[in-house]
Amino acid sequence: MKKKRKHQNRAMRRFLYMLPTIGNILLVVFSVLLFAGSIALFILEHHKPISYQTPLYRESTAVLSNPYIGLYQIHGYTLTDEDASNASKWLSNTVVKDTNQLVLLEINLVNYRSSAISKAALKQLDTILSYCSRNEKQMILRFLYDWDGKGPASEPDTKEQIIAHMDAVIPIVNQYAEHVYILQGNFTGSYGEMASTNYKDTSSFTMLNTHLAELTDPGIFLATRTPAQWRTVCSMSTPLTSELASYDALPSRISLFNDGMLGSKTDTGTYTTTSRKGNSDFTVRGTREEELAFQNQLCQFVPNGGEVITDNFYNDTKNAMLDLKTMHVSYLNEVYDSKVLDKWKKTEYISNDLFNGISGYDYIVSHLGYRYVLTDSDIFFHELADKKATLSFSIENHGYAPAYRDFEAKIILRSRSTGLSYTVPIDFQATDFLAGDTLSINTPIDVRKMREGAYHIILNITDPATKQTIQFANTSLNTKDGILLGTLTIE
């Protein structure tokens, strides 16, 4: 009997000993239940039924009116000592009537080949650039001394005179840097193409281009006529890489222009028929195949454009499409050569895609530069109580080239009933969005900040210089504020 009581006392002592531990366990369980209940209550109080509907994303065949791409016309003006009203009259008869955004202005300095440029002439230049800037033209500039193929006879007798002219005009150009897209050439050569010139030796050529680069606002692209000239100015035998292009160095500022485009096997002397493989001389031209491969890499980072000439095999429509894509061409002369352009207009594009049946001309023009197509969009709702969401969408670049100036981008969530909107800035690097690429973007949206109702979700991409909203190549989805991604409904 005593033995049994002893065991009972032990059991009682063990139970009393464990009471604190059991209490702690119960306290923890109670706390967990209380927290879970709070979360559940929070979710119930903040829950908002949400849905997202998307339209049909379909590409159109339209030619887009976007900055820095497409067709241009040439407008030439010779500076004189006359009143600036002379320049104003010239503008009203030429540039005013040009409906293209891009314009190529050729400013002839031949009247000052042996002297300084007068104040009256500089005032004329300022009048021209000011007008184009106010009217949102994107200017391609070319200063020259010759329009008649007589470059050496028209140029100043010394490099110092050319440099003095650069010193006089470039500060005026820099005042309109936002609207001056490209500065072609280095003032020399027949038609300003740096070929038939007294200053084509490597030393003179490099000095003039380097001085021009030092003077010019870094936001303005410079341009050489051939890949060999690019290599000479940049002292590089290979084209740009994405790493080098990201730096504000001279090679990332030098673009190309080709006024002999598709004119022959050598693009009328732009290339040669002898391979430059293994040649370390920067000035040596390569074959068509070599230089096209060079441009294919280089011109993913700097612009390329010009004019097609001389009806021949190399600008037959099918061949032209392939080479223009390889060269990443973003701008072309609208007028010259009319025989080549008419050939494209009379050729039907045959394919298995939506462009089947349109003219080769319309296909080429619609693909000059960048061409953004929205391909999908969705919203993923978080299951946590914070009720945030992630907007996801994808864009493809179906154009021949990227954009070479960066844009600003944001998401606009606009109430369909009140017109009130929320905006969400997004990171969009236009210059990194190369031809043929697909870009996927995810951005958070805080639904708690939004009232109940239906919202149009709009992607707005804007060029900060022209303040122009970038159009997409989607059918019926462009609005004045951007492209419609879909409709978000919060009940």
Backbone φ and ψ of 438, nearest 5°: -115, 130
| Span 50-62+371-490 CATH architecture | Distorted Sandwich (2.70)
Three-state DSSP string of the chain: CHHHHHHHHHHHHHHHHHHHHHHHHHHHHHHHHHHHHHHHHHHHHHCCCEEEECCCCCECCCCCCCCCCEEEEEEEEECCCCCCHHHHHHHHHCHHHCCCCEEEEEEECHHHCCCCCCHHHHHHHHHHHHHHHHCCCEEEEEEECCCCCCHHHHCCCCHHHHHHHHHHHHHHHHCCCCCEEEEECCCCCHHHCCCCCCCCCHHHHHHHHHHHHHHCCCCCEEEECCHHHHHHHHCCCCCCCHHHHCCCCHHHCEEEEEEEECCCCCCCCCCCCCCCCCCCCCCCCCCHHHHHHHHHHHCCCCCEEEEECCCCHHHCHHHHHHHHHHCCCCEEECCCCHHHHHHHHHCECCCCCCCCCCEHHHHHHHHCCCCEEEEEEEEEECCCCCCEEEEEEEEEECCCCCCCCCCEEEEEEEECCCCCEEEEECCCCHHHCCCCCEEEEEEEEEHHHCCCEEEEEEEEEEECCCCEECCCCECCCEECCEEEEEEEEEC
Q: What is the CATH number assigned to the segment(s) 70-367?
A: 3.20.20
pLDDT at 387: 62
Which residue spans of the chain are classified as CATH 2.70.50.60? 50-62+371-490
Give pLDDT, residue 39: 38
Residues 165-186: pLDDT tens digits? 999 999 999 999 999 999 999 9
pLDDT value at residue 269: 96
Radius of gyration of the chain (CA): 32
Residue 198 has a pLDDT of: 96
Are the C-beta atoms of residues 287 and 273 closer than 8 Å to each other?
Answer: yes
Nearest to 435 by CA among 371, 360, 355, 351: 371
Contact 304, 295 (CB under 8 A): yes
Low-confidence ranges of the chain (pLDDT < 70): 1-48, 383-387
What does the buried/exposed string (b/e) look like for 442-478 if buried means 16 or more CB atoms within 10 Å of the residue's CB? ebebebeebeeeebbbbbbbbbebbebbbbbbbeebb
**What does the block give as tokens for 17?**
């000993």
**CATH 3.20.20 domain position(s) in the chain:** 70-367
| pTM of this structure | 0.88
**pLDDT number for residue 287:** 98
Confidence at residue 25, expressed as pLDDT on a 0 to 100 scale? 53
Do 262 and 340 touch, CB atoms closer than 8 A? yes
Question: Among residues 202, 211, 263, 268, which one has the least CA distance to residue 235?
Answer: 202
Look up residue 428 and give its two tokens: 């969009």
Query: How many whole angstroms separate alpha carbon 458 and alpha carbon 445?
Result: 13
pLDDT of residue 446: 85
